[in-house]
Chains A and B, each alone.
Chain A
Amino acid sequence: MSAAEPDRGASGHFEESWAGLLREGLGLTVQPGARQRLTARTAELLRRAWQGDPVSTVAAEEAGTLLVDAHYTDPSVLARAVELLHAHPVPKGRGPAVAGAFAAGWAAALRERTLRDQEEIRAATDTARQSAERSLRATEARFRALFENAPIGIGIGDLQGNILEVNRALLDIFGGRMEELRGRRVTDLVHPEDEPGTWLAYDELVRGERERFECTKPYYRKDGEVVWTHLTCSLIRDEELVPHYQVALLEDITDRYRLEERLRHQATHDTLTGLPNRAAFIDRLERLFRAPRADARFGICYLDLDGFKFVNDSLGHGAGDELLVAVARRLETAMTPLGHLVARLGGDEFVVLLERSRGQQDAVTVAKAALSALATPFPVADRRLSVRASVGVLERSVATTTPEAAVRAADLTLYRAKEAGRGRWTLFDPGHHAREVTRYAMSVRMPAALERGEFFVDYQPLCTLSDGSLAAVEALVRWRHPDFGVLSPDDFIATAEQTGMIMRLGRWVLEEACGQAAEWVRRFGTAAPQVNVNVSVHQARDARLAADIGRVLRSSGLDPRLLQLEITESAVLRSDDDSMPTLRSLADAGITLAVDDFGTGWSALGYLGELPVSGLKIAGSFLADTHRPEAAAQQSWRVIEGLVSLARALGVNVTAEGVETAADAERLRAMGCDWGQGWHFGRPARPGEITRRITQELRRMAGHEDTDYYSE
């Protein structure tokens, strides 16, 4: 056995250990075939190293290199290998030299490999980055083209407000060149008409407190014109969500904006005079009420030209329009410097709105100023027209009213001004106004109330003074108002007359009363009372009244002689020609007429001869006066006596109204009065109450007298 040759047993042991080393760890990942070849080759090299003389360091180094090339790069592999090489019994201390050479070879190879790996990964990284950047550039080129050619204006700025990039569409909007915009600041682009809040939103955006905002924003173009845009401004953040840029998208909406403005102007301005219209006035007024100070006051002057209709009728509508325009200019000239809004409400009605007022005096001053502005004659249609106007002045604390109520009140005050005589101003009167408002509220509700059955009819007895028996009943319409309770005719008839509602209401009362009277006739025959129905001035003058009554009588089947119409004296007096034919035709049909409230007219009594009147009703006020102090009472009784004797002389039935005591009834009977009506004989009552009363009277007569009554 050569000294240089390890014994066979040791050699076999070494190869086995060597193969084991290469199977472990990373060796698992190496293919078994390749691994076996590597094991054999390296073992062979090492053997050669030991056997060489001198020691073949080259072979040992090559073994180390091969291991690294086969991915045995783990330092623990080197440690184990050196350990194995040392443990192998080789002659003359060759072991350390071989192990050293092997380690050197391994280390050098690892260094080479590491450098190569690093180079590769760097090259791969560069390649990857270049190719990614190439595709990024392609993408960027596409985006750049998109940016440049977008039909919408796009601008990019930093968070300090410096404009960095703008596209062509944006330049077109601004009418400038790139050099003029780049480097300018976003905040230079302020415009006096910017929506409030625009720059607040902008500040929040650049502080990173909001992601975007949208608004309509005007800009000055380079040529000084204003361009209106729809602006969307967004914040751009990086991957870590740190904001870096702002991007503005601007759409030129100037044409649309101007059209909208025109439409808005048309909607809020009167085309003839160019003044704000009713809608604009109401809008301004309502704005006062939105968030008023506690002590805020305002004023409204409703102004209406007196006799404008005359101008139109006599000089033509052209002249009328000319006058309205001139009036508008005068009012505008007088009021605008004071800061008051002048609006045309329509026709010849104008209004001045004092958005701030310190008291009534302010509003009155305005009204006076308005009237004096119109004092100088107007040169219209080659004439000098003197124009006067009436003004309704309302001055209120914002807290005490509403826009609607204020407008209504000012309107009603204007009517009072007109009624009071023209060419003057009238100040709103709350007390008067309350009445007006109630009347107004009632008139508005009345048609619906009639349909809902809120009206009903009570009947008040008219009794024969000689025996106290029931002769007739007066139908009195009542309104069970949901807010005001039961209203008597005094409360709403005047309103019904004004609104024209009286015709429908009167027809309804007639139907109701005639139907009820017919019912009593069916039940009690001749014991049924006559029914008296009031007919108002309007009704009496309306040619349809006769036809209405004829229809009602036919449908109820009531004998016309059982229907008496009560007409007020004043109505008859005023009615002259208009009502006479109607009243005559009614009388011809067998219906009787009575003059109501007789004596209050204090006028010529001659008409009584002209009228087909069969009854007079002496106004209750006379009897009421008899209960006053002695002198007045005597005076009243004398009047009543005169009226009774007049009636008797005319041969008509006479009824005293307001009979409250038995003594009065007796005195009236004694002076020859036929019937009495009043609390003494019974208050207005429901039909059922009247029915009971008739029944009672019939019983009483049956008890005290013979029963002949029924045999009829």
Chain B
Amino acid sequence: MQRSLSWVPPGTDPDRPNAARIYDYFLGGSHNFPADREMARQAISLWPDLPMIMRSNRAFLRRAVQYLAGEGITRFLDLGSGIPTFGAVHEVAQEVRPDARVVYVDMDPVAVAHSRLLVRDDPLVEVVQADVRDPHGLLAQAPVAELLRPGEPVAVLLVAVLHFVPDEADPAGIVATLRDVLPPGSALALSHASLEGRPDQAGPHQELYARTRTPLTMRSRAQITAYFDGFELVEPGVVYLPEWRPETPDAVGPHPERMTGLAGVGRRP
């Protein structure tokens, strides 16, 4: 009742910075509002490497999807997909496997509305609004259930998502819940902001994100690696973003740790 005067549905208030739109700005997109840009600029002034880190993360996503599609996986569940401006999962996957199906999941209604706009002509793609913090609710959504139903391997993408899930919401439990419903041969691709690499930046950056609806929790390598419990990590394991299967050795760059994000891909036996 306290909202009856000027209630704005969560995530649709342009005056409040939003993680999905900030990410878009970092990637050079214009799917954002002044409040998003303002916060993104503040973040960059604190940590000028941020746009590079975001691109590095996006590049990891691309390589991981490419790899998994190359491994024969045709079902992708992209959790926390955000605003799929470019290099979207279905584009990458369908490049390799034209029959690849993708279900995009995000809790942000704007990201969901935008994604639907973009993929409305692709029958193999679905967009679902759900909260990864409620994995059972998420799995109950019809497009997700349909993706898992035939028992074929499914790639779950948790790229730059779990650091928006605080410890109280039990991120490891969320991953385990998802893992337990995955058919054999399924995969998990995961990247996560880490406390390592640039520990000096961790504090201020987390404080900045505390202003959004999705505060940031950076985690250690051990914590991030533990999310792969029950999966077999593919080479090279959990590494800094640019180090994961680079296309050319020089693509890694001289200081991969500056990218701070850790990433990995695991397969269900």
Contacts and interface: CB of A to CB of B under 8 A. Distances in A.
B201 interface: no
B142 interface: no
Interface stretch (B28-36, B72-80, B164-172): B28-36
Q: Which of A74, A121, A123, A131 has the most CB atoms of chain B within a 10 A radius of its CB?
A: A121
A389 to B, nearest CB: 67
B14 interface: yes
Contacts of B31: 117-118, 120-121, 124
Contacts of B10: 132
B27 interface: yes
A365 interface: no
A329 B10 CA distance: 73
B45 interface: no
B12 A129 contact: yes
A129 B114 CA distance: 12
B8 interface: yes
B55 interface: yes
A33 B62 CA distance: 12
B117 interface: yes
Interface in B44-92: 52, 55-56, 58-59, 62, 66, 83, 85-87, 91-92
B86 A133 contact: no
A386 interface: no
B28 A74 contact: yes
B117 A120 contact: yes
A30 interface: yes
A25 B87 CA distance: 14
A223 interface: no
Contacts of B109: 128-129, 131-132
A128 B11 contact: yes
A652 to B, nearest CB: 105
Interface in A231-254: 236-239, 244-245, 247
Interface in A1-33: 23, 25-26, 28-33
Given A26-B28, A125-B14, A236-B2, A31 B66 contact: yes
Given A73-B28, A121-B31, A128-B112, A237 B2 contact: yes
Contact of A120 (B11, B14, B56, B114): B114
B222 interface: no
Contact of A121 (B8, B86, B87, B110): B110
Interface in B109-162: 109-114, 116-117
Contacts of B83: 121
A136 B7 contact: yes
Nearest to B2: A238
Contact of A129 (B8, B32, B85, B91): B8
Nearest to A74: B28
Interface in B1-45: 1-4, 7-12, 14, 21, 27-33
Interface size for chain B: under 10, 10 to 19, 20 to 34, or 35 or more residues?
35 or more
Contacts of A133: 9
B226 interface: no
B200 interface: no
A156 interface: yes
B180 interface: no
A124 B27 contact: no
A480 interface: no
Given A29-B27, A31-B62, A128-B110, A121 B1 contact: no
A648 interface: no
A523 B139 CA distance: 104
A124 B114 contact: yes
A388 interface: no
A26 B109 CA distance: 27
A28 B59 contact: yes
Contact of B2 (A121, A129, A239): A239
Given A121-B21, A125-B110, A245 B95 contact: no
Interface string A112-139: 0110011011011101110111001000
Interface of A: 23, 25-26, 28-34, 70-71, 73-74, 113-114, 117-118, 120-121, 123-125, 127-129, 131-133, 136, 140, 143, 156, 236-239, 244-245, 247
15 contacts: A25-B55, A29-B62, A71-B27, A71-B86, A113-B30, A117-B30, A118-B31, A120-B114, A121-B114, A124-B110, A125-B12, A128-B12, A129-B12, A236-B2, A238-B3
